Structure 1
Amino acid sequence: MHAKSSERSLRFFAHAPDCEIARQGESEAHHLLKLELATAARQSGAHAEMEVRAPDGSWRADVLASDPAGTW
């Protein structure tokens, strides 16, 4: 995993292209990390969803967190 920024300067984490998890599916540890991230985001007041795809299918977020007020 490594930190990246989208074309709109949104920050996110992504698998490296050669990441075994990305190629072969999801490990239990990876799934638990997603749950922890979503829980932490929600406890901080954010709205968090798991496995969110872009409308055009070009990307998928393991955990997508947003501000309930819509500012980020």
Structure 2
Amino acid sequence: MIMEEALVLILGGIVRILIWVVVEFCFYIVCWSIGWCVLKFITIGRYPKLNSKPEYAIAVGVLTIISLIVFANLIGIAG
């Protein structure tokens, strides 16, 4: 009985860590890709440079996704 509970706790922790890593990786890839494209478009290809920090592109990607969701909701409410 105690071994089963310990095993469930350990496996549950491992599964949570794996899910967190997968979600974080997908979030990083999706937001970075969107942010990179938006920044390249807005700055006409000047930014981001190859050696720039990816956090800026990720932040722009997150803001773009949030803006699109808000805009889609506003259209849905008005239409």
Which category describes the TM-score, using the shorter chain as reference length?
A: 0.3 to 0.5
TM-score, normalisation: structure 2: 0.31
Larger-gyration structure (1/2): 2
Give the structure with the larger helix fraction: 2
Larger strand proportion of the pair: 1
Higher relative contact order (CA 8 A, sep 6+): 2
